[in-house]
């Protein structure tokens, strides 16, 4: 799957005409396809956009209440059948690998503790296991290599996750990361606002800017959108 760039009206009209004149063999880049072979109109739904929510909250660290965070996000997606939301908790580094390849998401959303250059996963005893954000990026680069239905976006909802996040954006279409210490409430309010806008088919940048208005002024500069350098205004649709 690839994100769409914004087209002007003339381009859109040309594409619409082509869809009627030519036989359509793929629904990779359109939400609905109208086929007219036997004079019958059929609507083919686009496969759901998949969001993988991976959460880690090791022992001895503050409780982030990720089950309630996940339920709130899941409720947003219940309004829109075009999305599939999959939550996974108490993630270790090996489970990160397993769930990424097993779910094949379009957006990977990590929720957990972090510090400069690291996110905190869990070891086999549930204790903190510091995982370099650089290694996170290496994993995503390997995952997206030669893959048609690719991971297009990464959200790292943990404090100070901006470090190395720009390198991740070289291999996906956008990254959202935190440039400092952000409260649980602000992080949750921001991400709910972002997903609410996303399901109504707004661009990634519009969803991001609208979501910033959901959090208090003293923390609104913390979430950062890092788009791939080849994209200006991008859509998940």
Question: What is d(CA 172, CA 174) in angstroms, rounded to the nearest whole number?
Answer: 6
Domain ranges (residues) in the chain: 4-45, 49-235
Q: Which of 1, 4, 51 is nearest to 204 (CA)?
A: 4
Decide yes or no: CATH 3.40.50.150 for domain 49-235: no
pLDDT at 6 over 80: no
Q: Which of 170, 179, 177 is nearest to 228 (CA)?
A: 170
Q: What is the DSSP letter of 151?
A: -
| Strands 223-227 vs 83-88: parallel, antiparallel or unpaired | unpaired
Give the per-residue pLDDT at 48: 85
* Residue pLDDT, tens place only, 100-122: 999 999 999 999 999 988 999 99
Per-residue pLDDT tens digits for 142-175: 999 988 889 999 999 999 999 888 889 999 999 9
pLDDT score recorded for residue 19: 40
**3 against 223, higher pLDDT:** 223
């Amino acid at each position: 799957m690839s994100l769409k760039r914004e087209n002007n009206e003339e381009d859109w009209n040309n594409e619409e005409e082509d869809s009627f004149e030519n036989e359509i063999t793929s629904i990779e880049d359109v939400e609905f396809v109208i086929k007219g072979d036997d004079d019958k109109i059929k609507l083919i739904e686009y496969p759901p956009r998949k969001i993988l929510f991976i959460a880690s909250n090791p022992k001895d660290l503050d409780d982030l209440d990720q089950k309630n965070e996940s339920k709130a996000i899941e409720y947003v997606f219940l309004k829109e059948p075009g999305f599939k939301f999959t939550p996974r908790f108490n993630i270790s580094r090996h489970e990160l690998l397993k769930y990424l390849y097993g779910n094949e998401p379009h957006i990977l959303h990590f929720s957990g503790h972090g510090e400069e250059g690291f996110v905190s996963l869990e070891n086999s005893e549930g204790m903190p296991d510091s995982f370099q954000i650089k290694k996170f990026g290496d994993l995503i680069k390997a995952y997206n290599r030669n893959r048609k239905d690719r991971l297009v976006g990464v959200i790292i909802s943990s404090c100070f996750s901006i470090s190395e996040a720009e390198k991740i954006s070289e291999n996906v279409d956008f990254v959202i990361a935190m440039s400092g210490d952000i409260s649980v409430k602000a992080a949750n309010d921001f991400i709910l606002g972002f997903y609410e806008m996303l399901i109504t088919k707004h661009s990634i940048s519009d969803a991001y800017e609208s979501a910033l208005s959901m959090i208090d002024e003293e923390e609104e500069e913390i979430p950062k959108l890092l788009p791939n350098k080849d994209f200006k205004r991008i859509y998940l649709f």
